[in-house]
Structure 1
Amino acid sequence: MSAQSLTLLLYPTPLSVHRLPPTGDNLHAITPFLAPTTLINSLTITSSELSLIVPSATILPNLQDLKTEAGWRAFKVAGKLDFGLVGILASLTAPLKEAGVSVFCISTFDTDWVLVKEDKVDEARRVWQNVGFNVLDC
């Protein structure tokens, strides 16, 4: 699969990115919000933070030191990406960089996701289509 043959699927659901201190209590409190979904839930834990991405309509409990960045939309690279592929994210983000579109990227075992602020979705779609990517609504 070449970068130019990529298809991106735009999901309609707004997403929020949350940050919490990486404590066991916080992990326990958010675990009920990680049920399988047709969109994406993402949890990343490091020694310095716990990052959670869920649909914006998700009401999290009132947690101390919760920071939220709302208003993201997800573009998913369609299909499964082989681990040996090189430059997929670079090919997706470079044209957006030139257009001044900020991104938040997530990689799963199967594919890559590029989150774009809601007010930049149309611009991201246009930029990607201009460089030869297919962009479809889900």
Structure 2
Amino acid sequence: MTEHTEHTEQPENTEQPEPQTYSLSRYPETLAVVRLAAGAEIPLWAESSSVFSITATANETSLVCAGRSVPKKARHHKPFTAFCVDGALELTAVGVLVALLTPLAQAEIPVFTLSTFDTDWILVPTGMADKAEEAWRRSGHTVAPAVPA
């Protein structure tokens, strides 16, 4: 006679963890994203602002700078508004941009992102900045005007 033991499956934990929420600061400057040739020198008109970024690859050099002095003939997009994740983020943090970009993608808001050692920056077209704030607030994030440093 063979002994039969019943195996009952334990119900899986289907609860999803609460999504991580963040506080963001909105900066008032109008920014531009500029494309330069690979190895190009940074032009004198590239003025600093709340965020000033130079990213160089073998194929291009990109700038994020104040939009006010970018010549019309320069290959660029503007105006952008910058939002910064408040506080220092660990470089090992997982899912920060997913949590912040998903609500914007659902609201059909295009983005340009930057990361620094301490935090992440999200640039959105200035005409959609208020809509971005609304999308983030609906997702549990907070947004406030940036405090001048």
One-letter amino acid of the counterpart of residue 118, structure 1: T
2:27 aligned partner = 11
Distance of 1:44 and 1:31 partners within structure 2: 17
**1:121 has 2:129 as partner:** yes
Shift of 1:84: 1.2
- Percent identity, please: 32
Q: TM-score by structure 2 length?
A: 0.79
1:74 aligned partner = 82
**1:30 has 2:38 as partner:** no
Distance of 1:54 and 1:135 partners within structure 2: 22
Q: TM-score by structure 1 length?
A: 0.85
Rg larger for: 2
**1:136 has 2:144 as partner:** yes
Gaps of 5+ in 1: none
Distance of 2:115 and 2:69 partners within structure 1: 22
Shift of 1:32: 7.7
Distance of 2:84 and 2:97 partners within structure 1: 11
Secondary structure at the aligned position of 1:83 is classed as coil
Distance 1:59 1:101, change over 3 A: closer
Instruction: Spell out the pairing of 1:46-125 with structure 2 (5 A cutoff).
Output: 46-59=57-70, 66-125=74-133
Distance of 1:133 and 1:18 partners within structure 2: 29
Distance 1:43 1:31, change over 3 A: farther
Instruction: After superposition, give the CA deviation of every residue in 1:66-117 in whole Å (9 maximum; x if it has no partner).
Output: 3111110000001100011100001100111011011000000010000000
Distance of 2:56 and 2:123 partners within structure 1: 19
CA RMSD of aligned residues (A): 2.0
One-letter amino acid of the counterpart of residue 112, structure 1: D
**1:44 has 2:61 as partner:** no
